[in-house]
Structure 1
Amino acid sequence: MASKKKRVVQLEEKMQADDVAADDEEGSSDMDDDDDSSDGEVNEEIQVEFEARTIEDSDFHGARALLQQLFLKAKIDLSEMANTIISQNYIGSVIKQIDIPDSDEEDDDMGEGDPVLGLITVINITEKQNVECVKQFRSMLMEKCQACSQQQKERLSQILTDADQQVGYLISERYINIPPQISVPMYESLFKEMEKCTRKKMKYEFGHYILISKCYRPKGSDQLFYTNAEEELISKEIEFSFTYSVASERDTVVDGKWDAEDQMEALRTVLVIPSENLQTAVANIKTALAAT
């Protein structure tokens, strides 16, 4: 197992106490609601600090859960994909909450079993195209692109089959309560790690990235909203994109409340990003967040 490292600037954020728990902990929420005899809302503010850590074997279930909220019922072996991510733990990070220990004892074990609140990494889907979960992912992309224009289908096929360029599947997932400010240091750390790997002749110099964004839109409207706010800025730096509905897959983790009320339609948008544009997009995110 790789040694534990902390490698992204910590982020402190004021959050509503009733919004800190991840939305997929529905069972815990329901139990808490049953125990709460008051109908009043909790408006207490608490200080929450996050940090990024090296991906470890113990993060398997957390990483898989984040992939599950993205892919839902897609026919992709998410266990194999989570293991693939862990096997290349020199690339990417997981987001965890910083805990203040009650004592100095067992400091070396801090973080063991901590929930994974977010994940960023990239998988080379050219080099790993014979890995079963990557085969499934590539097939899913072409299947979902069937409704695209002929030009988009041909271009996606060309990108995926071009042996002279590497394609990176960019995974940037987190629970909806984690603020977008954390995305900038996460991306910056990822860039540095890819540069380091490239200097070692590893295949992390990509021609294109593919990012799947969780989105939603009001039913009957063409207006598209991104669950991860920074991805709207990334979407302005793409070569092309296509969107497909996952409303029938009961996306309760992120968009379920709106979908259940027949107000919003849960979607996924595939962003095809030229590699040189991604750093521009992250610089724009940094500027935009600084202005807010």
Structure 2
Amino acid sequence: MPRSSKKRRPNTEPPQPEDSSSTSSSDNEEDLDESMNNNPQESIQIDLEARSPIDTDRDAILYFLEQSFGSSIKKSILDLNQLATQLVTQQSCGSVFYQPLDSTMDETDDDDDDSPVLGICSILRFDQQYNKQLQPWLLDKCSDNEQAKNILQSSKCGFFINERYINIPADISLPAIRTLRQEITYPIDYWIIHAKLRLHKSDSNTIYYINGEEEIFQQYSTVSVDYHPIQSNAGEWTHRRKIMFVSSDKLDQICLDIEQKLKQ
């Protein structure tokens, strides 16, 4: 089970995926967890600790954003570097996760022993004053849904960032979400969830949520919009994104449902 403690501690560069020069964002998704209960033997049980992001986490955070939005997205459409910077600078809100060093090791002997960032849980505030690029991007993706557009134009929204490395168990999600809620100091009417989904080409009726806990957010969403990312086809799978608008007053019940799901 991940630990809920939050510390500040520097880390080295994040591990790169194998053959990163030739691996697309969609290829990376092939290896991610499909859901909390799908292929549970693939998850690894490790102790994780949380701390606020710092400058040296920027590359790791950028990797996770590319994992969410796709590494081929053009900077003119959505500047992921700018989003990564925002996640680092809002240090009082959001966490990155790492595996602490073995207490029996001398941490000063080898700087390479510092543990890399394995995941992030945060939220991006955006409105007319904060992060002006997210709202136009979301309005474009939701252009055919009047209810979604109305929420984006008239409500206070936060964009939920919920990413982790391969085989990191879903157990990390619940304490991370609860901690994040306590850290948010400004009003948010809706959390916007950007979920990664995949469908098997031979069974398009079966949808897998890469982060299984996000399926519970979908059950409480006011409205949701699907779109296909660039390079959405990979092998036997078709990849999809789902943008969900979840009212903040649903989060208590969502956390309870996630807790119950994790106990199963």
Question: Take 2:207 and 2:188, find their aligned partners in 1: how far apart are those partners?
Answer: 28
Aligned equivalent of 1:13: none
* CA spacing shift, 1:46–1:121, aligned 2, 3 Å: closer
Partners in 2 of 1:79 and 1:222 — Cα distance?
35
Displacement after TM superposition at 1:223 (Å): 2.6
The structure number with the bigger radius of gyration is 1
Letter in 2 for 1:125: F
Q: Which residue among 204, 212, 233 is the counterpart of 2:216?
A: 233
Q: Distance in 2 between matches of 1:176 and 1:126?
A: 33
Alpha-carbon shift at residue 284 of structure 1 (Å): 0.6
Q: Label 1:50 to 1:221 Cα distance change in 2 as closer, same or farther (>3 A).
A: same
In 1: Cα distance, 2:3 partner to 2:124 partner: 20
Structure 2 portions without partners, runs of 5+? 7-13, 23-40
2:88 paired residue among 83, 86, 89 = 86
Q: Which residue of 1 aligns with 2:190?
A: 208
In 2, the alpha carbon distance for the partners of 1:138 and 1:155 equals 15
One-letter code of the match for 1:191?
Answer: R
Assess if the C-alpha contact under 8 Å between 2:147 and 2:223 holds in 1: no
Q: 1:8 aligns with which of 4, 18, 22?
A: 4
1:9 CA displacement: 4.7
Distance 1:91 1:193 in 2: 5
Q: Following the alignment from structure 2 to structure 1, what is the Cα–Cα distance between the partners of residues 223 and 48? A: 33
- Classify 1:127/1:278 alpha carbon distance in 2 versus 1 (closer, same or farther; 3 Å): farther
Q: Shift of residue 278 of structure 1?
A: 2.0
Query: What is the aligned-residue RMSD (CA, Å)?
Result: 3.0
Paired position in structure 2 for 1:122: 123
Q: CA deviation at 1:144?
A: 1.8
4+ long deviations beyond 6 Å:
none
CA distance in 1, matches of 2:156, 2:45: 41
Show CA shifts across 1:94-131 (max 9, x none): 01122215544539x8985x3221111111112544x3
- For residues 110 and 207 of structure 1, the distance between their equivalents in structure 2, rounded to whole angstroms, comes to 43
Q: Which residues of 2 match residues 244-283 of structure 1 at below 5 A?
A: 244-246=227-229, 249-250=230-231, 259-261=233-235, 263-283=236-256
Matching residue of 1:170 = 160
What does 1:1-292 correspond to in 2, within 5 Å?
8-9=4-5, 25-27=17-19, 48-72=46-70, 73-74=72-73, 75-100=77-102, 103-104=105-106, 106=108, 114-126=115-127, 128-129=129-130, 131=131, 134-135=132-133, 137-146=134-143, 148=144, 153-162=145-154, 165-194=155-184, 197=185, 204-219=186-201, 221-246=204-229, 249-250=230-231, 259-261=233-235, 263-290=236-263, 292=264
CA contact (8 A) 2:199 2:239 kept: yes
Structure 1 residues 116, 110: closer, same or farther in 2, change over 3 A?
Answer: same
Deviation at 1:235, TM superposition (A): 0.8
Question: Measured at CA, do residues 126 and 241 of structure 1 come closer, stay the same or move farther in structure 2, by a change above 3 Å?
Answer: same
Q: Secondary structure at the match of 1:48?
A: coil
Q: Give the structure-2-normalised TM-score.
A: 0.77
Letter in 2 for 1:57: D
Structure 1: stretches of 5+ with no match in the other structure: 1-5, 11-20, 31-42, 198-203, 252-258
Structure 2 residue identity aligned to 1:260: A
Distance 2:128 2:95 in 1: 21
The count of residues paired between Structure 1 and Structure 2 equals 231
Deviations for 1:151-188, whole angstroms, at most 9, x for unmatched residues? xx2222221222xx421111111123110011011011
**TM-score of the pair, normalised by structure 1:** 0.70
- The one-letter code matched in structure 2 to 1:222 is N
Structure 1 pair 266/144, CA: closer, same or farther in 2 (3 Å)?
A: same
Aligned-pair CA distance for 1:139: 2.0
Alpha-carbon separation, structure 1, partners of 2:254 and 2:44: 31
Distance in 1 of aligned mates of 2:147 and 2:198? 25
The AA in structure 1 aligned to 2:231 is R
Q: Report deviation, 1:206.
A: 0.7
> Are the equivalent residues in 1 in contact too, given 2:44–2:168 (CA < 8 A)?
no
Identity %: 29
